[in-house]
Structure 1
Amino acid sequence: MRLESTPELDAFRHKVRAFVAEHAPGRKRHAGVRAPEPELMPAIREWTAKLYEAGFLGIDWPARYGGRPDAHPLEPSVVAEEIARARTWPPVGAASLASSALIEYGTDAQRDFFLPRIRSCADVWCQLFSEPEAGSDLASLRTRARREGDVFVVDGQKVWTTNGQHADMGYLLARTDPDAPRHKGITAFALDMRSPGVEVRPLREITGTTDFNEVFLDGVRVPVGNVIGEVGGGWRVAMSSLGHERSGVAARGVELIAVLDDLLRLSGGRSSEELGELATRVQVNAAMIGLAQSRMLAGTEGAADALLGKIFFSELNHDLVEFGLRTQGTDGLLVGGDPSAVAEGWWQDAHLYARAYTIAGGANEILRTQVAERGLGMPRG
């Protein structure tokens, strides 16, 4: 495993850091992957477009669409880290997932139309995968799409759709062959969220904010030309695009270091065995990220690498913010809006949100089973 940087990556990092300091749209108020308030969206769209224009997003795209195929493969991770370090807004939505699917499986016409709109942030995308009975077990999805001439008619319900209230386009999975095996008969679509029959209902979470949405699809007509990949090949498209999304892992490591630094200040420099253990785990998390990146560069990634990293990060994040609350004593009961709350209630919000990290991307209980089966080769229970 190689953890050291290179002079080229260091120079790139300094360039990104300066750009973020000059152009970022301000600091995020809340922890985690959150949806901005509507009034922030114009600034975030402009910020995202600037990142693409400067060559800091879409780095691994084909040159024809503005990418730099000769760039160092860790440059996207550096960008994600520097955005996280500044605690500002990353690009909002699921455009990175959608662009991966379009680049690998889309038609030339789809790429020529959608990718420039992603670069200019004319389109914000959301991910329409999870359903009330198909979250971690995504292959159980029930949303149906039936062919009628040159369109598919879609009926169903999606849930936990982050930024659905802001999205122009949706990266949709629907079942086109109900008689096929679970992982077959699923098709990927590019869905115009302004289509008749699309209803977005924001969900207010325990944090008091609205980051997720339910999306109801009632007779929504999707042109056949918006199928991504082959009809019935949506599972392969989805798994491929999810596999390309690595830069967020590096950003999570930076987030934990920032939380640990805040925790050290909050504790007034007082050390404890528990704080030392948390600091050690933060370093272990960084080492796990370095190992995953090293294996990615060498082409030796293990089936359990990403799963273990997500489990470890999410549980460590929870323990960090929980310790932060306990350190505040009775002040830990205060919430945002109370002038006496520490850091304007950031710790309380982060603690309430921390459970989401243990569920999003697959509940940790499900992921542990996948580690056993895929990583350790254990028999199915």
Structure 2
Amino acid sequence: MRLDSPAELEAFRQQVRTFIAEHAPGRKTRAGVRAPEPELMQAIREWTARLYAAGYLGIDWPAEYGGRPDAHPLEQFIVVEEITRARTWPAVGAGTLAAAAIIEFGTDEQRARFLPRIRTCADVWCQLFSEPDAGSDLAALTTRARREGEEFVVDGQKVWTTNGQHADMGYLLARTDSGAAKHKGITAFAVDMRTPGIAIRPLREITGTTDFNEVFFDGVRIPAENVIGKVGDGWRVAMSSLGHERSGVAARGVELVAALDDLLGLAAERKVEDRPALEDSATRQAIGELATRVYVNTAIVNMAQSRMASGTHRPADAQLGKVFFSEINHDLAAYGVELQGVDGILAEGDPEALSDGWWQDAHLYSRAYTIAGGANEVLRTQIAERGLGLPREPR
């Protein structure tokens, strides 16, 4: 398990920390995976490009496209940890996810065309996987792509598309063979989001923000040269690229430790019977329980990183970590609101709201983490079947 780092990695961490302090586009004011406001996009595009240019993103890319394949495998985790610790914006969009698919399955022409534009953030990508009836069961997707000469014509709907309103390109899964088995007959595409027939409709959430979108395809024509991998092999392309997208696990430990620190600060500020809440035994007991879970989560993150770095990760590692993190995150945010007493009903924008309503926003958003990336109920089944080898649930 990763418990400490060698000197060269700590030197790299300090280098990253200095870079972030000098170039980051400011503090991220809302919890979770959020889409930037339009006025922030240019600064975040420039920030993303700087991260790539400095070699802090795309570390595992081929050297001819700017990667450092001989870098220590934990460097990518350190970069994510330090961005999260600084509470600034990560790279915008799904470019790293699309790049993983293009590097492994794309043609030389696709690599030369798309990868440099991802690095400079000339193109922001979005992920076009989930559908209204194909979220946790992604293989149930029904968006169709039919071949017409040198083009595919796409009809259907996607949903929960983060940054869809900002995207230049989309990483799309569509069904090209309706007669094939469920996980077969799916093809992966790179699609220009400005193509006629694409309609993007922002979804207003309970937080009041529009991080997600519905995306509709009505006779959208995609050149056949934009197929990523082989026609009908999109499921393998998608699963492989998702498997490469491991650095997000690094944020989970840092994010919860930062939230715990904020909770301690709130408890020191709030009063219980005219005393600081931290002097109240019930408050200390509640925070102590949450702190224990936070540091168990950190141990789970360290274990997952160590296994990823050594190539010994297990089928249920990612699911276990995601379930544990998302439920602690929810409980931390909920207690942050509870600790405010009647002030907990105030929200962002109210001049009397503590921390400008950060805890309230975090609480409203926290349920998203229990659904995004696979609903926790579904992931528990996967942990049981794939991780523990228990009998499969009756189908």
TM-score where L is the length of structure 1: 0.99
Q: Deviations over 1:175-228 (max 9, x none)?
A: 000000000000000010000000000000000000000000000000000000
Q: Distance between the aligned counterparts of 1:96 and 1:51, measured in 2?
A: 12
Tell me how far 1:379 sits from its aligned partner.
2.1
1:336 aligned partner: 348
Give, as a single letter, the amino acid of the residue that structure 1 aligns with 2:392.
Answer: R
Q: Distance between the aligned counterparts of 1:267 and 1:288, measured in 2?
A: 27
Q: Distance between the aligned counterparts of 2:139 and 2:368, measured in 1?
A: 21
Q: Distance between the aligned counterparts of 2:221 and 2:309, measured in 1?
A: 42
* Mapping for residues 192-271 of structure 1, pairs under 5 Å: 192-268=192-268, 269-270=278-279
Q: State, as a whole percentage, how many aligned pairs show the same letter.
A: 75
List runs of 5+ in structure 2 lacking aligned partners: 269-277
Match of 2:286 among 261, 264, 274: 274
1:351 aligned partner: 363
Give, as a single letter, the amino acid of the residue that structure 2 aligns with 1:240.
Answer: S
Three-state SS of the structure 1 residue aligned to 2:39 is helix
Q: Distance between the aligned counterparts of 2:237 and 2:352, measured in 1?
A: 49
List runs of 5+ in structure 1 lacking aligned partners: none
Q: Deviations over 1:101-130 (max 9, x none)?
A: 000000000000000000000000000000
Q: Deviations over 1:150-179 (max 9, x none)?
A: 000000000000000000000000000000
Three-state SS of the structure 1 residue aligned to 2:248 is helix
Give, as a single letter, the amino acid of the residue that structure 1 aligns with 2:27.
Answer: R
Aligned residue pairs total: 381
2:97 aligned partner: 97
1:29 aligned partner: 29
Q: Distance between the aligned counterparts of 2:10 and 2:192, measured in 1?
A: 40
Match of 1:323 among 330, 335, 342: 335
Tell me how far 1:6 sits from its aligned partner.
1.1
Q: Is the 8 A contact 1:183 1:235 kept in 2?
A: yes
Q: Deviations over 1:48-79 (max 9, x none)?
A: 00111111110010000000011001111111
Give, as a single letter, the amino acid of the residue that structure 2 aligns with 1:327.
Answer: L
Q: Is the 8 A contact 1:132 1:159 kept in 2?
A: yes
Tell me how far 1:297 sits from its aligned partner.
2.1
The CA RMSD measured in Å over matched residues stands at: 0.7
Q: Is the 8 A contact 1:3 1:294 kept in 2?
A: no
Q: Is the 8 A contact 2:252 2:301 kept in 1?
A: no
Moved over 4 A (4+): none
Q: Distance between the aligned counterparts of 1:294 and 1:115, measured in 2?
A: 28
2:273 aligned partner: none
Q: Distance between the aligned counterparts of 1:52 and 1:298, measured in 2?
A: 25
Deviates further, 365-374 or 354-363: 365-374
2:272 aligned partner: none
Q: Distance between the aligned counterparts of 2:148 and 2:261, measured in 1?
A: 57
Q: Deviations over 1:124-155 (max 9, x none)?
A: 00000000000010000000000000000000
Q: Distance between the aligned counterparts of 2:387 and 2:218, measured in 1?
A: 40
Three-state SS of the structure 2 residue aligned to 1:272 is helix
1:287 aligned partner: 299
Three-state SS of the structure 2 residue aligned to 1:220 is strand
* Mapping for residues 1-381 of structure 1, pairs under 5 Å: 1-268=1-268, 269-270=278-279, 272-381=284-393
Q: Is the 8 A contact 1:187 1:231 kept in 2?
A: yes
TM-score where L is the length of structure 2: 0.96
Q: Distance between the aligned counterparts of 2:239 and 2:350, measured in 1?
A: 44
